[in-house]
Amino acid sequence: MSRREVGYNGAVETESAIDTRVRTLPAWPTLYGWGFLPVAAVLGGAWTFAAPLEGDIWLTVLTALVLALAGWLPFWRIVTRTSWAHTFALWRTWKREAALPFWPYLQPGTPGAALHRTLRQARAWWSEVGRAALAAPLCMAALALVVNLLAALVLGRDALLLTLAMIAWTEIAVLWHEGRGDVGAAWAAGALVGLPWLLGASLGVSSAGPAGMLQPALSALALILLMAFYAHPAPTAVLGPLLGAGFLVWQRQFLAAGGVLLLALPGLLLLLQRPSMATYRRALTPWLLAIIFLMAWVL
């Protein structure tokens, strides 16, 4: 932090200047290449449960891809990768105030006076800290939210319910990690693979009722657990492929279960080199894509 001089009522005081620089997000939110996972998940879910993919179904699939790539993915990345905690931590000890029009009949020591003082502090905080740090993420999140709702309304009720679930999942992930600007692999697995898989599956089972969503839900859960463990660089990563293979064995797809274990082997061998989180996740991307397509092929 630097130091600066601030004038209050003619007096000059020196205080710590607040660093409001924020990370700029790339225009294409690939997330270590994981931005391609929703594409594979939507196509895989549709391939498995909405086949045959011919005729008008392709227009519906393309709309689902627009929802996942232009709505869900940007919203997820912006909300989960913004450091909300750092910015709002400054508010807890914020004392400076900005000018606001005086309310009539306002008496000192009343709740109205306390509210007026809080609003003055909030305006000063937003002008000096909040706008620089949060204005761009909030605008981009709002735009992504509009795309979410418009595309979901075009697709129908199931897509709208899944969109609301995606928004709730994102907010819970941020709150769980206290807005530190990153979330774990389990939350990412649900947002980038599980829900898009269900979105693709809903294109073909929407008329089958709740019972028709049981198999898509179980397969989505298997993918979430696989990625949640496998994408975390720790000895427990081996549990992910084992759970995925176990699900395929339960579905009597024994050769596919062995294929999942073989596809997961390069990532597990990479753990022996103790890579960084970014390096490990980037290296896993092609193998995760292959596993998703393999499960879509055999289910």
Q: Has residue 38 got a pLDDT over 90?
A: yes
| pLDDT attached to residue 4 | 45
Q: Which two tokens stand for residue 296?
A: 């879509």
Residue 186 near residue 228, CB atoms below 8 Å: yes
| pLDDT attached to residue 32 | 66
**Amino acid present at 187:** W
Domain ranges of the chain: 30-83+149-298
Over the stretch 202-252, which tens digit does the pLDDT of each residue have? 887 554 555 567 888 999 999 999 999 999 888 899 999 999 999 999 999
| Gap between the Cα atoms of 70 and 77, Å rounded | 11
Over the stretch 81-95, which tens digit does the pLDDT of each residue have? 888 877 777 777 777
With CA atoms as reference, report the closest residue to 72 among 156, 149, 182, 187.
149
Residue 117 near residue 51, CB atoms below 8 Å: no
Q: Has residue 30 got a pLDDT over 70?
A: no
With CA atoms as reference, report the closest residue to 38 among 87, 2, 80, 71.
71
| Gap between the Cα atoms of 51 and 213, Å rounded | 15
Q: Quickly state the pLDDT bin for 9 (edges 50, 70, 90).
A: very low
Percent of the chain with pLDDT over 90: 41
Exposure string over 12-51, b if 16+ CB within 10 A, otherwise e: eeeeeebeeebeeeeeebebbebbbbbbbbbbbbbbbbbe
Q: Has residue 66 got a pLDDT over 90?
A: yes
| Residue indicated by tokens 């993919």 | 53
| pLDDT attached to residue 8 | 38
Give 12's DSSP letter. Answer: E
Confidence (pTM): 0.81
| Gap between the Cα atoms of 242 and 258, Å rounded | 10
| pLDDT attached to residue 31 | 62
With CA atoms as reference, report the closest residue to 71 among 146, 128, 18.
146
Q: Has residue 7 got a pLDDT over 60?
A: no
Percent helix, percent strand, percent coil in the chain, to nearest 5: 75, 5, 25
- Per DSSP, the three-state class of 14 is strand
Q: Has residue 282 got a pLDDT over 90?
A: no
Q: Quickly state the pLDDT bin for 167 (edges 50, 70, 90).
A: very high
- The rounded mean pLDDT for the chain is 81
